[in-house]
Amino acid sequence: MDAPFRQLTPYAWVAQSCIYATNSGILIGNGKAYLVDPGITPAELERIAAFVATRQAVIRGIVLTHAHWDHLLGPAKLPGIPVIAHAEYAAVVAAHHDDLVRQIAAWQLGERTECPDVYALPSPDMTFDDHIHIHLPGYCLSAIAAPGHAPDALVLYEPVAGFLWAGDMLSDVEVPMVMDTFHHYRQTLEQLVHLDIRVLVPGHGAATADGTEIRARIEHDRAYLASVEKCVASAVDQGASLSETVARCGNIGFVQPDNYPNAHRWNIEQAYLEVGGSASGTIGWAQDWLVEEMEC
Ligand SMILES: [Zn+2]
């Protein structure tokens, strides 16, 4: 039954969802367990709970790396367990509560072709601004603020194993998605450069313990962000409109472009806004929240 669970360190396992290759973390030490973004389907959540139970561990907390719908479905299926999130989580949920509920409902309808469950979005029991320590016997993990992909994004780091749970960054299958700001994303990656990372788990895609691959992912994402910012700044300096800027910067390379037709364009639009470009209507990642109400 352990087949879907890959052990990465003496205390960390990862299980990958069939949805978006989303990773769930299971951290276990001496009868104590923490879950990271557990999900996504009910069957996957049941397997995670059963995996923890076979190790005679009790789940002490659920860490949510950020308030995007595909990371939020665990607590409703594992009730009564304290939820840990960044302090900005509440503001993101307050601003996008209805969008998140619509996104979850749209996914549920698409998956099951039936009326969705009514999900209450998780409410954190413990939040932090800069960092917080999470203790497993023999190990101390730090949850660290890591904005950029989202204002409330966090990473988990443990120095003995050099373990980094990166949330929705450093993926081998996704372009960096700047749903917060380029400024924050760049600062966060600059912080991560200084960590001794030997095991890396992205929110989506493959975990890796290959040092060359880990460094390449960090440098690739830093280079991508720098290229977009430079291209957009130059275009805005020359008075380019938004559509001209998108056209000029459209050919910057990134991973799996066919899977993410909008992501690169929305990143360009986000950078355009940040350097003071003017445009009307909803542009950039704000468009990602626009999910229509679905009838069932
Ligand atoms: Zn996300």
The pLDDT tens digits along the chain (296 residues) read 445 899 999 999 999 998 889 999 999 999 999 999 999 998 999 999 999 999 999 999 999 999 999 999 999 999 999 999 999 999 999 999 999 998 998 888 887 766 667 678 999 999 999 999 999 988 999 999 999 999 999 999 999 999 999 999 999 999 999 999 999 999 999 999 999 999 999 999 999 999 999 999 999 999 999 999 999 999 999 999 999 999 999 889 887 777 777 899 999 999 999 999 888 888 889 888 887 766 66
Ligand 1 mean position to 233 CA, how many Å? Answer: 26
pLDDT (0 to 100) of residue 113 = 63
pLDDT (0 to 100) of residue 294 = 67
pLDDT (0 to 100) of residue 126 = 98
Ligand 1 mean position to 239 CA, how many Å? Answer: 32
Please count the CA atoms within 13 angstroms of the CA of 46 that sit on its side-chain side: 3
Ligand 1 mean position to 56 CA, how many Å? Answer: 31
- Which 8-state DSSP code applies to residue 187? H
pTM equals 0.94
Ligand 1 mean position to 54 CA, how many Å? Answer: 30
User: Which one-letter amino acid corresponds to residue 90?
Assistant: A
Kindly give the pairing relationship between strand 126-128 and strand 131-136: unpaired
Ligand 1 mean position to 235 CA, how many Å? Answer: 28
For ligand 1, a single-atom ion, the residues with CB < 5 A are 68, 168
pLDDT (0 to 100) of residue 107 = 86
C-alpha distance from residue 133 to each of 144, 145, 158, 196, 249 (Å): 9, 12, 10, 18, 41
Ligand 1 mean position to 203 CA, how many Å? Answer: 8
Ligand 1 mean position to 238 CA, how many Å? Answer: 33
Ligand 1 mean position to 65 CA, how many Å? Answer: 8
Ligand 1 mean position to 149 CA, how many Å? Answer: 7
Ligand 1 mean position to 95 CA, how many Å? Answer: 15
Ligand 1 mean position to 66 CA, how many Å? Answer: 7
R_g over Cα of the chain: 19
Domain map of the chain by residue range? 5-211
pLDDT (0 to 100) of residue 235 = 96
Ligand 1 mean position to 103 CA, how many Å? Answer: 13
- The CATH code that applies to domain 5-211 is 3.60.15.10
